[in-house]
Amino acid sequence: MRSRILFVAAAALVATGAAIAPRDAGRTSVPANVVQDSSSPAPSFDKKEVMIAMRDGAHLHTVIFSPKHADGDLPILMSRTPYGVEGMDKAFGAPALKYLVRDGYIFVFQDIRGRFTSEGKFVMLRPMRDKTKAKAIDESTDAYDTIDWLIKNVPHNNGRVGMLGTSYPGWLTVMAMLDPHPALKAVSPRASPADMFIGDDFHHNGAFRLSYGFEYATMMETTKGFSAFKFDQPDTYDWYLKLGSLAHVNDRLHGKIPSWNDFANHPDYDAFWRRQAVAPNLDRVKVPTLNIAGWWDQEDFFGPIKIYETLERNDPKHLNYLVVGPWNHGGWSADSGEHLGPIHFGAPTSDDFRRGIEAPWFAYWLKNKGTLKLAEATTFEAGSNTWKSRDSWPPRTGVTNRKLYVRADSQLAFAPQTSASGSVSESYVSDPANPVPYRARPILPTYGEGSTWSRWLVDDQRFLNGRKDVLSWKTAPLDSDVVIAGAISAHLFASTTGSDGDWIVKLIDVYPERNQADTTLSGYELMVANDVLRGRFRHGFAHPQPITPNHVDEYVVDLHTQDYRFLRGHRIMVQVQSTWFPLIDRNPQTYVPNIFEAKDSDFKAATVSIFHAPKYGTYVLLPIESGAAAAAEGAGRR
């Protein structure tokens, strides 16, 4: 929910990603059907701080910035945040707000309950209220009460309010649109979590995101402000490994971090997690919504896609839109967005979005300005580095699901292994005492000086070369481009000598050994999609089941969705492993009812086997654009 602590105030409206510097390259514009506004000088602001009363009597600290010398009444743009609104004056000079400031809005920022100087008790991702109780409150009622006060008390507003925010502020935006104030006319949640057990910050498919969950909870709940956890070792891999079982965490925290206690007390998908999930409540949303996601979002990629897809089921008036760019968490707010780490995209994608999509969107709904010709889904196809305007996401036409099979001798092809001769499986020993690191060591804390957490999803995967507990398969060099557009899933036919285990799958673009386009990327291994499945949840997240040792089961790992072009001469790689530390907590590989209560003695090494022929054919299901079929066929002939 928060990529770095260093930009506390600016995160109230926008969460920034990694610093991104310009680079001379061919420019790829936003789609031609996006209306672009003319510019005007940025105004100065009058600032007012107020404490707005909620229906239960709590007062929330709110800062209002009204442009001086405004020409007529203006709409209000609001963001609510747990990250602090002090210092937002400085945000108006940042590129992230340039076009919105230019167009003219009254900007409002608010600290939510229990954070900084707002009254009340802070509850992480406060569950939606019981509507049978007249005085019940939640983030939806707080947003409603705030908007009601603003409309009645802020001079020269035009009666229309828009909301936006990234990550936790994005989730707060979603909460506001569930039971919206009549004045709420447009919302843009960015990287909002949708389900903290299935695919967002704290768990992925039931596997606990240890380093992020631990460090975020301690940062947010030690004080009303921020207090990053102090590690006494430079490499957090060593610190978490030395910690041992998660049962030892409260030896350090003394039971004082509510979210950690919730993690430990709710290891399965029970009512606690279901109350926080937003999807069941999205059937009644009627507010125009611009959903924003990044293909390499290290924190909340599942959420915005889930929210968009759920809203789409009840959208007869076509009010629901999606934009996905080549960004990390909050990367749409970066100065340029021309590259992420060493991967270049040939255009200032973040600036293109803000100028060509975000600004016209809010101007249309809040000012009756211009016409809106935005496509249903605007997605950035990395590889070709082009924006695509699509009439649905995932695409309903022009795409064929193809199985990319793992085969003997580390081969990967669009044709299954048909012969039982040779090996029918490959194995490795997964040892919890020596887990596979999720990135090259030393692994720095998530928050703090020098952290590169925000860019880890584009790390070169060659750092794992030589590890015997990671299996890799790859195609021959592609004869022509292969384009994927839509949902991806891995279907592993696997066994383990343990009674539990994790399955991590990565889809990787392997650059040529001599990459002429950019020699610094020669041989680079870029993750295109990835995720983890905790084996006990293979049949559902609410009722975990032990694994039968040495029995071949099918494990379906959701790798989410992508729009990506594997270029001619590149290879496609699939990689499988069972640990991803300390991003994901260590599975004991011995079934216990609650891994948060596992004993150190429960952790055992296990032999894992991945099968590929002929009865059990492990594969990754890829949505391949029809024009790329020839390349797929070529990769299938070896």
- Where does the pLDDT of residue 635 fall: very low under 50, low under 70, confident under 90, or very high at 90 and above? low
Predicted confidence (pLDDT) per residue in 334-365, tens digit: 999 999 999 999 999 999 999 999 999 999 99
Q: What is the pTM of this model?
A: 0.92
**Residue 130 amino acid letter:** D
Strands 343-344 and 571-577, by their bridges, are unpaired
Predicted confidence (pLDDT) per residue in 101-133, tens digit: 999 999 999 999 999 999 999 999 999 998 888
- Which CATH architecture fits 5-194+278-390? 3-Layer(aba) Sandwich (3.40)
Domain range summary for the chain, segments of one domain joined by +: 5-194+278-390, 399-636
Percent of the chain with pLDDT over 70: 91
Predicted confidence (pLDDT) per residue in 505-539, tens digit: 999 999 999 998 899 999 999 999 999 999 999 99
Number of alpha carbons in the 13 Å side-chain half-sphere of residue 515: 17
Q: Edge-to-edge, what's the strand order for the sheet holding 157-166? A: 45-53, 59-67, 106-111, 74-81, 157-166, 184-190, 289-294, 320-325, 377-381, 386-390
User: In this predicted structure, what is the pLDDT of residue 418?
Assistant: 84
The closest of 384, 392, 555 to 482, measured between CA atoms, is: 384
- Stretch (H or E) spanning 438: none
**15 pLDDT more than 80:** no
User: In this predicted structure, what is the pLDDT of residue 38?
Assistant: 36
| Fold category of 399-636 in CATH | Jelly Rolls (2.60.120)
CB 58: neighbour CB atoms within 10 A?
18
